[in-house]
Amino acid sequence: MKKTKLLYIVCCIVFISLLVACQINKEKQPEVSDNTEVRTVEDTQTVVFVDYNWVVLKKEDAYTKNTVILTGEVSNVRYTTVDYEFMDTNVSDKATLFDIKVDKVLSCTSDLYPDRDCITVGVGYTMSTYNEELPVITEGARYLLFCNVTADDKDDVRETYKYADCWICYPKDLLCENIDGYYLVCDFFSDIPSAVSLAGAIGVTKEDASDIFSHVSKEYIKRKMEASSKRKVISEEVALSCIETLKVRAGNGADQLWNIMKNRYLIEETAFENHIRKTAESFSDR
């Protein structure tokens, strides 16, 4: 009887182990279709900077060429290679996929948007095809993003609808980081009345870039703010968080950091979201 019971337990353990192994193997398998293969690649912690020819985005296009604007928190960031065939040529693109726990949907013009608490979003770059103008997508960070519902475009040669719910087409301008209750945005949103220049709010210039890059601190920022003739509009803590965020992008040092900082603005979270919502409504009414 004891031997039979022991054999039963061993068989159960083996069976469970096989199930777990199959599940792990299933998770590692690339997503494949007739034309597209999506392979998860290892994060080597190496940043490779490349140059992009940025498209000058018009305000109207931001709201009419994107079907969803939402906010939320990022998790499960993974870097991928998307292989597909286009015009009889094999193409390999880099893409970052991540899950986002949706906080607010500020605008939606798609009937196919997946109304779930958590969705998968894709964007066409990784840290091996990176540019300092692009946000570093990190676990636990919060963003406001303009994107398209992939199910609306099933003719996309990359077949994004099979592995992402939404896709960000203009990450340089329309993937906005939320830092301590403020959105850190580029000059695309600089005309919003409540937008505050990051460099101006701290009171720094290009000559301060080396100090900022090498040993910035809350005390350093406080001294700069006190020496500035401008009225204090953000706290030292917020300013420091923004600089630390931008320093991650500036792999080539102080000059690169300044090139990013000089075109960055802060907008209080609620004010920015309300502005985006109202602007989106104005375009949908046309």
Contact 210, 98 (CB under 8 A): no
> What DSSP character marks residue 90?
E
Instruction: Please list the residue range(s) of the chain that carry CATH number 2.40.50.
Output: 36-178
* Fold classified for 36-178: OB fold (Dihydrolipoamide Acetyltransferase, E2P) (2.40.50)
Q: What is the pLDDT along the chain (286 residues), one digit of tens a residue?
A: 444 444 444 344 434 443 433 333 333 344 556 789 999 999 888 888 888 888 899 999 999 999 999 999 999 999 999 999 998 899 999 999 999 999 999 999 999 999 899 999 999 999 999 999 999 999 999 999 999 999 999 999 999 999 999 999 999 999 999 999 999 999 999 999 999 999 999 999 999 999 999 888 899 899 989 888 777 889 999 999 999 999 989 877 899 999 999 999 999 999 999 999 999 999 987 7
> Sign of torsion, CA 177 182 184 190?
positive
Q: Look at strands 265-268 and 196-197 and give their pairing.
A: antiparallel
**C-alpha–C-alpha distance, residues 51 and 248, integer Å:** 17
